[in-house]
Amino acid sequence: MTKLRRTVAFQGEHGAYSEQAAFTYFGSDIETKPHRNLREVFETVEHGVAEFGVVPAENSLEGSVNQTYDLLLGAALKIRGEVKIRIGHCLLALPGTRLGDLVVVYSHPQALAQCASFLGTLHAEKVPAYDTAGSAKMIKDKQMRNAAAVASEYSAEVYGLAILKTHIEDLPDNFTRFFIIASEDAPATGNDKTSIVFGTKHIPGSLHSALQELALRQINLTKIESRPIRTTPWEYYFFVDFEGHHSNPTIKDALEGLKNSTTFLKVLGSYPRAA
């Protein structure tokens, strides 16, 4: 009997950094499903069309991907894993194209911004597009001889483009953390993280009281960030990551304490920590 390959949804075209993250996490024996936006990735996994989704959570230079956290808040899905990949931008074009031939460079606005110093040396217009890999695909499909894309080396392989220059990003320490989302989170491994989101009363000391439930049990926080509550102006949800698995008795006890000191609490998932 032939074993069915895992299906993994991601945002962007084939060759996107999200697809690269999927292969890094799962290995090559998967079927990847591209989607135009993050909401479609969540819906595909929720409806069972794909077993897993890979979504960007945080960039080391730009911070959190707010839409991912907003979607996690309302989705009936869990974070099952995380993976971090180095973001190395390249300048890609059709074979035979030279730097002096370029009149336009396409890419996602964030990628263009991250390569501003190098792109400023080119006498070419910078045009934002919805996706890095999508820009590479457009150049290949339309055979655009005087155009280039800022995308990954992996995109060059996928679309048969030439790499005019590698590592054109302004800052070398550029990493993105991706979440693996699924219908259930992961069993405990002994090297885990848990992600939660909660709300508090709009009174002095409410956030301190909530975080004290973790501090008193010596649970180490690795991240805390606020996001606006869209239905209540100037009030916020708090997204928190900490070490440990929700099945651990100490973590269970802390979560019970949090229920008493918050107005809303959701466990987004427990999962193995990325290297």
> Minimal CA–CA distance to 106: which of 77, 137, 83, 129?
129
- Distance (Å, whole) CA 14 – CA 134: 8
Q: Which of 44, 97, 176, 194 is catalytic?
A: 176
Cβ-contact 136, 157 below 8 angstroms: no
User: Does the annotation mark 231 as catalytic?
Assistant: no
Exposure pattern of 184-199 as b/e (b: 16+ CB <10 Å)?
A: ebbeeeeebbbbbbbb
CB 86 within 8 A of CB 174: yes
Q: 102, 149 in Cβ contact below 8 A?
A: no
Q: Would residue 222 show up in a list of annotated catalytic residues for this protein?
A: no
Active-site hit among 10, 52, 178, 179: 178
CA 195/CA 268 separation, integer angstroms:
5
User: First-to-last CA distance in the chain?
Assistant: 35
Catalytic annotation, residues: 176, 178
